[in-house]
Chain A
Amino acid sequence: MALDSTGIDQSHKAHRTRQAGPKKKAKSDKKKKKNISENDRKQNPKAFAFSSSVKAKRLQSRSVEKEQRRLHVPLIDRSYGEPAPFVVVVHGPPQVGKSLLIKSLVKHYTKHNMSEVRGPITIVSGKQRRLQFVECPNDINGMIDAAKFADLALLLIDGSYGFEMETFEFLNILQVHGFPKVMGVLTHLDKFKDAKKLKKTKQRLKHRFWTEIYDGAKLFYLSGLIHGKYAKREIHNLARFISVMKFHPLSWRASHPYILVDRLEDVTPPEQVRMNKKCDRNITLYGYLRGCNMKKGTKVHIAGVGDYSLAGITGLADPCPLPSAAKKKGLRDKEKLFYAPMSGLGDLLYDKDAVYININDHFVQFSNVDDENGVTHKAGKDRDVGEVLVKSLQNTKYSVDEKLEKSFINLFGRKPNMLLEAQNDGKDDHETVEQARKIEPSERDNSGDEIEADESDEESDDGELDGMESSDQDEAIQKDAMIKSKGGVSEEETVDTFEQQSPLKDHLQEHVEYHGGRLRRKALFGKGTDHEDLKDSEEENENSDDGVDNQTPSGSDFSEEDGADNEIDDDMGNISKWKESLMERTVSRQNTNLMQLVYGKATSTPTTTLNEAQDSSDDEESDGDDFFKPKGEGKKNLGEGFDDGNVNAEDCSKFTNLENLKNWKDEELIQSIRDRFVTGDWQKAKSRNKVPGSNSEEEDDDDAVYGDFEDLEAENNRHQTNDIGNGAIQKENDSAAEERRLKKLALRAKFDAQFDGSESPDEEVDKKDRAKFHHGQANESSYFDKLKEEIEIRKQMNISELNDLDEPTRIEIEGFRTGTYLRLEVHDVPFEMVEYFDPCHPILVGGVGLGEENVGYMQARLKRHRWHKKLLKNRDPIIVSIGWRRYQTIPVYATEDQNGRHRMLKYTHEHMHCLATFWGPLAPPNTGVVAVQNVSNNQAAFRITATAVVLEFNHAARIVKKIKMVGYPCKIFKKTALIKDMFTSDLEVARFEGAAVRTVNG
């Protein structure tokens, strides 16, 4: 845009004006006009800005208005720490190039080619930012769900065709459920051969797009395909735009936790599935937590499925972590991670108790295993023994047998029955694997055919497959051995060793069959301690088939226990952190005691997330008998005798025991509290109030540097001595206060800097202008700034308070933080969810707030969508989407008359709002509602029938209906008439007693 500066150097060919013809006339006319108007103005328009006061006033008011429109009520952002990846929903009609766009973007960010786009794809896009790409399905349900989790919506529009209904439908849904950022992308522009037409079309579409969103909304042009991909430069530009995008919190989402599921596993016991294919399933869902913190015991709504209480909730290690905060420019290739389990991409899969490493075919080096000896050791009985020996020799330290055998045990630890069967059949181990595959429910039925094919494939070349498998395992073991021998306990590895003791090994098979040629296997590491036991059981296993039955479960139990033990203090699997927290805990033991006293031991000690999850599930499911247990224990702990299990205690808030009243005339006693009065020593009082503040601050410091036990004790001692030395306290307090003040100032400065930096330069110019023009406005803007400042201080306060706590308490208090990768276990979902699971249809899990699981009547202000063809009929079922939910309901429409009464409507108004009262799960007032009549895809017309907003809950909505009744006069007096045949029953008569009557003629 630097035209002015470059205009001088660049020599363009001078424009030759028309010398003749109609154009010349037109031009000259215009020029004349312009000249006149320019002459009217003063030479220096800036110097004489307003010649007319009216105009000045108008200008002023306009700019004031503009400024005010820019402002939003500042919202507190309660997500501390790393934000979850931003969700970029790519939406558009079919065949517009959605998948290709995602592929191109992924390629741009990670240099990986994706064959197909299924489910959310998480990538690290920058040092501070991760993105999650989701393709929006085209059915209305999918669109509704996608609109609820989108942070940025890329609307793809076929430029050669123009706008399609899907785009507008999606826009409307977005608007109702809180408007996230929207960017338009025009594709198929290479269909235009005529450049002028292309330009015209671009203009037209742009302006249409602007009317729908706002003037100046960004519309991208992707000019065409090069080698079946979008042009690199254009994708680069788009990526730039995405990476600088700022996302503001939306009110519904900021107050509800939600998870976009990027991985789903069926963990139903296979036996149960075998018995009854349609039994209710247990599933685990994985995804980043967004919105707000999620507490244990929160109920969740799975969109399209229903409300469930969580059977378990665990924070997992981030599968796609942000790079470490080292100072460097840009991302290293190694850090350009991406994670897309539903598309079968991403190298590591973390589970609560296992890590799956996914190794690409061409990365596997078959150095020590050839095709002909591609045999697992398990199958060694059938194959050449020599090869096995060679293989075992390659692994130097630990014998492979044990490892592999152990893996076998673990594999089938959870399904002894199946194993037994397999063994009874007298097949070799490999075949049991095969069978496990068959028994495994083919829950991803969309790839069912593939599975078949794969299976046959695998059977044909299973030797090879197994060979690779074993080699990989060997590698893993070797790696482990190395780690062991080194003795250096690097974090990741220890996590692995702890966590891999999985009771749920059946994932292995699933993954293998799911991804066809790709292998996904569990990394197996041995632990020195339980090695012997496992070996023993292994030997028994080999000796007798029955032994397997007895031993395997115990073995797996053992490992499970072990895993649990390891997890107790360490939910994130971080060993060093674990140690620290232990240390801290010993320090703060005295503090937790009080919590234990109040909340009972049972609930305050289980710091492990695993146990906690179980607790919460217990609380919800069997609330009957053990409800009082923790309390009872708490009482025992209390042991002070004021409420020894008296469930019928008198309900009284006053607690004054007159017995131990002190004699306040005693001089000593008077002195003891003299400083509590303004007549006493102010300094002392100040110190009294401030001590805990400085105390916590010091603790804070200790936390920061992870100071050890002695240190803190010394601190405590010092406090005790402080009570004696008055001056010392004072000094310390002053310094503490000073420190705090400085901290606050720094924060403010930081915040201000951030605030200014965030604004684009033209806005800043705007601000300057504003400052110049409107000194009177300073008040308002300062109010705005004050609000912002308050919020920021509130936030910093929260953070500093929360940082004082150790990790388990923190999770207990505030729940799982946003951005955590969570594993949710949900029990008893209908089998259809697993059976008809479609990775292209994203699953949304939303937390249900207080009182939102209840059902009742809601009143909403509803307006028929202007593009919907028909009016809506009273009591005609509609499908509404409110909050996280979608459900069908029967609305009763009404309108408010002049006299405040609600009159029922047969049909909704044509262009006006009316009231709709319907029954359903309650959503808080001010929630947006979008209504559709039919979710089927084969409708050509606009599918959204109405939009609404919830006004209130109403258990007794009074809606009156005007009715006409016909009767015949049987006797007529002067002012009275007797009418007959108007009612048919006494009940009717009773109902209408006292009703106002008006005849047709008035």
Chain B
Amino acid sequence: MGKTTYKRLKGSQNLRHRLLLATLSSSPILIEDIRADDTLPGLRQHEVSLLRLFDKVSDDCVVEINETGTKLKYRPGIVMGGRHLVHDCGVSRSIGYFLEPLILLGLFANKPLTIRLKGITNDSNDPLVDTFRSTTLPLLKRFGVPSEGLDLKIESRGSPPHGGGEVVLTIPVVQSLNAVTWTDVGMVKRIRGVTFSTRVSSQFENTMIHAARGIFNRFIPDVHIFTDHKAGTQAGSSPGYGISLVAETNAGCFISADMAIAYAREEETGDIEDEKKELMPPEDVGGQIASILLGEIEQGGVVDSTHQGLLFLLCALCPQDVSKIRSAKLSPYGIEMLRHIRDFLGVKFVIKPDPSTGTVILKCIGCGLKNLNRKVS
């Protein structure tokens, strides 16, 4: 009893999956060789920040990192949740990076979670916070998460490299999820979206919208893209603009695509700022994002490629019923998630291709996770 056996893992890949699944299945993990051969070895800033976030929302979790940061020992505690939590996500990754594991942690916490996250709200690497609002939260509702207390409020926006955005995430507590049978994609009945701009002209947004509509008009007339121009303190400390689109089908699927444009961080580009990289003009952004969205729709899954991993994980966390979902071509992230689910939760999916539509049907029996942390009255 006294000795804990750690699950040994290697490398920094999928740190979020690993930490999240380790916490949910309460199995301690030991990750070695984290960028051991890199010029900058060890954990990155955002990863450390993620660990701090996990530590913040849970109780009695033990994190040990060796001197070089190449080895990480994580023993999960009890996810407590709670209100009035504040976390600074730093500027190396956007808030989307932190939100993805956090929403699941919050569902299985002791108390409902309300947390204020500070940092970059819109980044091209991670889904935008707008996408979270429009797509991810409805996805959770599909699994029986109550809509009361499920909210993401964008207080101010921040673009890279300096960030300065703030969002408030509220997540209710559930006892367990519901299994889903979700193979009907339906037909796209409307396209919604929101554009944002910080510290640039609001005209950028109109241009993006115009370009995107130009493409969508060939398909569907019901396209509404809202603008969200932030100014002053709400605009963060760097210029940037972007767009997040979501296509809603008549079967209740939300398929999203997003894009954010901003100046790159200095350490990434490496070279001195003698020539700042030219940003993509807003017309191109609008056109591209529309194409991306249409590409996602063409793929024919019930969720877009970004949300595949989350969808699989939610299915695996269901009670011991069969979940059946249709997904588009498996994304690498989704595949990694499937493997990690197998390793941590012991849930395997039956994956059958559906050649007539080029989609994949996945079936699984959930692991029957119950919220052990919740207090009974």
Contacts and interface: CB of A to CB of B under 8 A. Distances in A.
Nearest to A649: B13
Interface string A796-836: 01100110010001001110000000000000000000000
Interface residues of A, number: 95
A657 B361 CA distance: 23
A623 B8 contact: yes
Given A812-B348, A850-B345, A924-B370, A648 B294 contact: no
Contact of A623 (B7, B309, B361): B7
A273 interface: no
B125 A652 contact: yes
A679 B250 CA distance: 12
A599 interface: yes
B369 A850 contact: yes
A851 interface: yes
A360 interface: no
B187 A678 contact: yes
Give the interface centre of B183, B218, B221, B326 by most chain A CB atoms within 10 Å. Answer: B218
Interface stretch (A40-48, A430-438, A502-510, A666-674): A666-674
A814 to B, nearest CB: 5
A590 B215 contact: no
Contacts of B24: 850
A955 B326 contact: no
Contacts of A926: 376
Interface residues of B, number: 104
A759 interface: no
Contacts of A679: 219-221
A557 interface: no
A378 interface: no
A856 B61 CA distance: 12
Interface string A589-617: 01100110111000100000000000000
Contacts of A693: 183
B346 A689 contact: no
A538 B12 CA distance: 58
A295 B365 CA distance: 11
A951 B350 contact: no
Nearest to B345: A850
Interface string A190-233: 00000000000000000000000000000000000000000000
A648 B353 contact: no
Given A654-B126, A656-B292, A814 B374 contact: no
Nearest to A722: B356
Contacts of B251: 689
Nearest to A689: B184
B335 interface: yes
A692 B356 CA distance: 8
Contacts of A624: 8
Nearest to B339: A631
Interface stretch (A391-399, A680-688, A744-752): A680-688
Contacts of A78: 320-321
A293 B319 CA distance: 12
B188 A676 contact: yes
A647 B10 contact: yes
Nearest to A679: B220
Interface stretch (B32-40, B145-153, B164-172): B32-40
Contacts of B77: 955
A141 to B, nearest CB: 19
Interface string A822-862: 00000000000000000000000000011100111000000
A691 interface: yes
Given A599-B339, A665-B215, A678-B189, A794 B179 contact: yes
Interface of B: 1, 5, 7-17, 24-27, 33-35, 38, 59-60, 77-78, 97, 100, 110, 124-127, 179, 181, 183-189, 215, 218-221, 250-251, 257, 288, 290-292, 294-295, 297-298, 300, 305-307, 309-310, 320-322, 324, 326, 330-333, 335-336, 338-339, 342, 345-346, 348-357, 359-361, 363-365, 367-370, 372-376
A-B pairs with lowest CB-CB distance, top 7? A647-B11, A955-B60, A851-B26, A952-B375, A801-B322, A649-B13, A655-B331
13 contacts: A591-B353, A598-B335, A598-B351, A638-B335, A643-B332, A651-B13, A654-B124, A656-B305, A665-B218, A692-B354, A696-B361, A719-B356, A814-B365
Given A595-B351, A665-B215, 17 more contacts: A293-B365, A594-B352, A595-B349, A627-B7, A643-B336, A653-B126, A653-B309, A661-B295, A670-B218, A677-B189, A680-B187, A685-B186, A797-B181, A801-B324, A850-B368, A951-B376, A955-B59
